[in-house]
Amino acid sequence: MAEIHYMTQEGMDKLKKELADALAQRPVISAAIAEAREKGDLSENAEYDAARDAQGLLEVKIARLKDMVANAKVLDESKIGTDKVQMLNRVKVENVATKQQMEFTIVGETEADFARGKLASTTPIAKALLGHAKGEVVSAQVPAGILQFKILDISL
């Protein structure tokens, strides 16, 4: 069974553009292969080998992107509440041990960007938070051990 990729409409649009860009590269690589083939002996033709490798990588990328688009579920942001943590919520938490506060938005894996405060729903911390309400303390199993977080706020 294919894995479902949850994302925003913005994420889906970006993914479709990336797929269209990859598909547009097919004729460019085919032309490079044809040009390299015209140069004669293919057994010692580095340009031909490089073009064939590029074509193989492009086809893998296209297949991956097509799979992601086919198995994408665009989340309806108008139906997202803030009573319990769910996808696309902005969550403010406090590490119980260190009292350090963090804030991030829980997103699908394809849109994750920790530097921009976007945490993938597949991470141990996000998994621990999902389904819990403001004021609850949750435990997340991370490589460094078990961390406890108190949910301070849930917003959109």
Q: Which pLDDT band holds residue 38 (cuts at 50, 70, 90)?
A: confident
Domain 77-155 has CATH 2.60.40.730: no
Domain segments of the chain as ranges: 5-74, 77-155
- Of all residues in the chain, what percent carry a pLDDT higher than 90? 65
Give how far Cα 26 sits from Cα of 54, 55, 62, 67, 88, Å. 10, 7, 10, 18, 35
Class of 5-74 in CATH: mainly alpha
Stated pTM of the model: 0.69
Lowest mean pLDDT: which of 31-40, 59-68, 115-124? 31-40
Segment 40-68 mean pLDDT: 88
Cβ atoms of 105 and 125 closer than 8 Å: no
